[in-house]
Copies of this chain bind each other. A is one copy, B any other.
Amino acid sequence: MNIAVEKVTSSKINEVDFDNLAFGSVFSDHMLECTYKNGAWETPKIVPYQPITLDPSSKIFHYGQSIFEGMKAYKDKDGGVWLFRPLENQKRLNISAKRMAIPELPEEYFMEGLTSLLQVDKNWIPENDGSSLYIRPFMFASGNGFHASPADEYKFIIATAPSGAYFSGKVRVLIEEKYSRSANGGVGFAKAGGNYAGQFYPTQLAKAKGYQQVIWTDDNTHEYIEEAGAMNIFVRINDTLITGPTSDRILDGITRKSILDIAADEGIKAEVRKISVAEVVAAAKSGELKEMFGAGTAAVVSPISGFGHQGTDYDLPELENSYAMQLKKRITDIQYNRAEDKFGWRYRVI
């Protein structure tokens, strides 16, 4: 594929303080852009990062027809650039697309588009430990009209942002008993825009009570733990790691499934089964609840220091040798090309 590249006339890179990167708030010089029109995706092109202009009747403004992905590019100490299981993101983008009635994108548009973009903006990939280039592929309805039906035009864009950690400090979570993230038969398994906006208000309420995140439970009984805002959830009871099964309500996280494979490899006993809130509370009371952590591309592995439920707060112990730290080290060593990758997950870009 011949991806046309229009370069910026002057780079903004010198304005960026790579030693103090926030998450996703400065953007690299270029972006990939691809338009769906007349029933087909046009060849993607690389252009300067620039505003998008849309008619006020564009369906993105009215009907939430949008999906996205979240990935990272990692630079190793020799300047090599790596992605982590990028084809999983590409496949999941199309799973989301199908559910949201958005046309699927051919694999090579995604992979060639992304690798070309990273080549053009390779200087934007941070070298500092714990930093990476956050990659945001997204797709939305750009076609017009107030009729509540799928659009006839779409945009696929990849923008990137050199980023530091997603969370700063300890993460305390609230186990939700009133609000829900997704329905059976709904769109929870898709990385659809609307799934996120729906979480903002309950998360604001949780923040006002001193929690950083909500742990979602099933919408019918609120008895089972599902996932957090942008992370899947693991619970360690005694020496067993447990995470809920995926379903049409839960995002099938790439970090989650990688952690399960690593755990097996490290000889950590892991179970994929429903986790009831009652079980977690009982284990917290008896001292058998050793750890909880979130797993996701942005959050990597984020230890949870405590949780609230029905007005009571439960603290988790601070462990010397936590599974969270063991698993985080192993996965980031693979991502940054610091250790062997027996799973074949690393994908070389440069």
A residues with a Cβ closer than 8 A to B are 23-25, 27, 31, 49-58, 60-66, 68, 98-101, 134, 136, 138, 140-141, 144-150, 157, 159, 161, 163, 166, 176, 178-187, 192-201, 203-204, 219-220, 222, 229-230
Cα–Cα, bound, A138→B57 (Å): 10
Chain B contacts for A176, CB-based, 8 A? 185
Residues of chain B with a CB closer than 8 A to A201's CB: 98-101
* B residues less than 8 Å from A163 (CB atoms): 146
Task: Identify which of B55, B65, B166 contacts A197 (C-beta below 8 A).
Answer: B65
Instruction: Assess the B61–A193 pair: CB atoms within 8 A.
Output: yes
Further 16 A-B residue pairs, CB within 8 A, beyond A182-B183, A194-B194: A51-B55, A52-B58, A53-B54, A61-B66, A64-B192, A64-B197, A64-B198, A65-B197, A66-B197, A136-B146, A141-B197, A180-B186, A181-B186, A186-B219, A192-B194, A219-B219
Instruction: Provide the residues of chain B in CB contact with A157, threshold 8 Å.
Output: 56, 61
- For the complex of A and B, the 8 pairs showing the least CB-CB separation, nearest first, are A194-B194, A24-B146, A64-B193, A64-B194, A101-B200, A183-B183, A183-B219, A180-B185
- Is B25 a contact partner of A146 (Cβ separation < 8 A)? yes
Beta-carbon nearest neighbor of A63 in chain B: B196
- Judge whether B220 and A184 touch: CB under 8 Å: yes
Q: Whole-angstrom distance from the CB of A246 to the nearest CB of chain B?
A: 17
